[in-house]
Amino acid sequence: MNRVLAAVIGLFTVAGPALAGCGDDPAPCLMAGGEYELVLPNTGGPDTGGPNPPLVMFLHGAGGSGATVMRNKRLLRPLLARGYAVLAPTAARRFRNGSGFVWNFFPGWEGRDETRFLQDVADDAAARFGFSRADILLAGFSAGGFMVNYLACDTPDAFGAYASVSGGFWRPHPDQCAGPVRLFHTHGWSDKTVPLEGRILGGGRYQQGDIFAGLEIWRAANGCANQNPDSYGRTGDFLRRKWTGCAPGSALEMAMFPGGHKVPVGWADMVLDWFEADTP
């Protein structure tokens, strides 16, 4: 199965990857409008004469960058161990005092069109390394998770599948999304930074949305027959809810864990298992 996983978190590095930076160049991949980092597993890739590995594009959280994703060993190790490459782009907006960056996801914000930029990143990686945008899983944490949701809502066919951690929509919620998607949402039960119910920020100027209201939008986009999940399950500490009576080719699942605002241990393997099982 030819698959590429694209994900959006922000923190880790791995000892001895086959390639880091931009192929055999330790510097980031530079392109019009921005940059990204790429690391390949020890199984190699096109530069070593082997086939392309599957790919995860991961979007960092607020205050991070593509480089911080590459320093997150706890995130990268399980992805690379499963034979996945990891691509980590850097957002455009400066975060607070200039320490890091945040994705330009909020409707009405001025600045770089991140939805277009992330598709351009995937196309650039396809031209340089042969990855296919249609096979990518786009993932992200916190602000990166919000970016994943807005991109999937606006352009559902841009990537093969989507996975967000601790990020949904902001209020006002979108009225509707453009079409069905394959999406896996993960959230901490005691997340205080992005609470399940949302919260008000900026003296009332912004309000994070309700995660369960966001799932209702996704059920409508996917044409799910029921509001309630069709199945419940458990993977370690993760409590999982899955909707199956939906449009052909779509997928929708949520996992909650007993923790706060973080990418939890075990997330990578759980999401890769889902991605591989649900890839047509």
Domains and CATH numbers, the chain: 29-278 (3.40.50.1820)
Note the pLDDT of residue 226: 94
Rounded CA separation 178/257 (Å): 29
Contacts 24+ apart (CB under 8 A), 196-203: 198/170, 198/171
Note the pLDDT of residue 10: 31
Note the pLDDT of residue 279: 58
Note the pLDDT of residue 96: 81
Rounded CA separation 56/82 (Å): 11
φ, ψ (nearest 5 deg) of residue 198: 90, 175
Note the pLDDT of residue 1: 39
Rounded CA separation 58/69 (Å): 8
100: burial class by Cβ within 10 Å (0-12, 13-18, 19+)? buried
Spans of the chain below 50 pLDDT: 1-19, 48
Note the pLDDT of residue 25: 81
Residues 252, 245 contacting (CB under 8 angstroms):
no
Note the pLDDT of residue 241: 98
